[in-house]
Amino acid sequence: MRPWQLAVLWIALFVTAVASGIDLLYYLSYLVLFVGVAMWIVSRQTLDGLAVKRQIGQAYAHLGDTIELRYELQNTHRFGKLWLEIFEESNWPEHLPGRVLSIAGQRDRKWKVLVRALRRGRFQLGPIVLRSGDPFGLFATEMRIHTPALILVYPKVLPLLHWQLPGSQLEGGVLTGQRSLQATSMVMGIREYRPGDAYKSIHWRSSARHRTLQVKEFELDRTADLWIYLDLDRHWHRGEGETATIERAVTVVASVVAKALREHRNVGLITSGLRPDVLQPDRGTKQSGKLMQYLAEIQAGGDLSIAETLIETTPRLRRGSSCLIVTPSLDRQWVRPAGTLREAAIATQAVIIGPPSSSDDRDRARRHAIVGELAIAGIPAAYLSVDSRIEDLFREAAVA
């Protein structure tokens, strides 16, 4: 029964009792009024003394992982709560399961919820909503507990068993003039110690001479740089979900990043689409987190082609670097700039992402033409169809 229905019932009983003078109707109207007031007072107290805490098993996960959410409900009131509905609002891809329960006075309840990461991105959890009311369901109460939390879902990382890191075409270490947070074999100079610097980087002789702590600054070895080009031009991306070209392209890039960083290579990323975004190459866990966070949120968009991006950013790549181009584009215009990289002593590879649906004869002819031109330019290329496994990239080249 709704509150307005209870009010209409009481008015009808009271008016009828006054008109007829029947004592029973007076008693019933008083009873209805008493129940309404009592239930309103009870409903105001149903959420008193309640507190909810939420803990997340991990702040980030990879696509397909299971995330554990742990909840704890505390009731500091001496009276128990007959029924409570608890759920959480968020922008998670699917509805987070809630719970309906009761709790005794001065007790706590704990439970956990397992959710699967179905889409990469940045997701905000909270607030937690508590709903309750009186036993008759006349009056409802609601309380929102603002406990915001952030979950990052990184792209899926798969083992690339057959793909090999492109080797450098230059012998020896060649300096880039770029400072690195990671220790390398190249020392660029010294500077004053700052909080957070590694103690192993302290140069004790210089510290004694300057009478203040001095640390070594290292320089990147450009022969170890791996640049990855990711094409985000919306004109060529197709499909939705896991079979979409953008999702498979991001998975390829994330898998390459993970393997290259495990092998202590400097990895940088350049994307096309809206504009050529450039993430400078570096190595270590900081670079891994930086690249994975970037890959977690990017989407296909914009009209800047991979050919224009290659032409604009080629001067950033120095001789001796390596390059991997990941694109669904069947436009032959990007093959020539890729060949220019090869001519500049930059070891270049390409991965062509196939559409989620079967292509027609015209698209197959364009793809074969691009693969042929890449082979003439000396650029190894792999085609990733919708039925192919990412783990098998460059398998044919490895067998050969």
Angle at 114 (CA atoms; ends 110, 119), nearest 5 degrees: 145
pLDDT at 399: 43
pLDDT at 240: 92
Mean pLDDT of the chain: 88
pTM exceeds 0.85, yes or no: no
The span from the CA of 56 to the CA of 228, in Å, is 33
pLDDT digits (tens, 9 = 90+) for 278-292: 999 998 899 999 999
Query: For residue 102, is pLDDT > 50?
Result: yes
CB 47 within 8 A of CB 75: no
Q: How much of the chain, in percent, has pLDDT values that exceed 90?
A: 64
- pLDDT band for 253, please (50, 70, 90 cuts): very high
pLDDT at 400: 38
Averaged pLDDT, 144-162? 94
- pLDDT band for 175, please (50, 70, 90 cuts): very low
In a 13 Å sphere around the CA of 164, the CA atoms on its Cβ side amount to 10
pLDDT digits (tens, 9 = 90+) for 52-93: 999 998 889 999 999 999 999 999 999 999 999 999 999 999
The span from the CA of 152 to the CA of 61, in Å, is 6
What's domain 222-399's superfamily in CATH? von Willebrand factor, type A domain (3.40.50.410)
CB 330 within 8 A of CB 304: no
pLDDT at 218: 65
CB 86 within 8 A of CB 73: yes
Query: For residue 385, is pLDDT > 80?
Result: yes
Query: For residue 220, is pLDDT > 60?
Result: no
What's domain 50-154's superfamily in CATH? Immunoglobulins (2.60.40.10)
The span from the CA of 204 to the CA of 313, in Å, is 40
Residue 187 CB partners (closer than 8 Å, separation 6+): 216, 217, 218, 219
Q: Number of H helices and number of E strands within the chain?
A: 9, 18
Averaged pLDDT, 218-225? 58
Averaged pLDDT, 113-137? 93
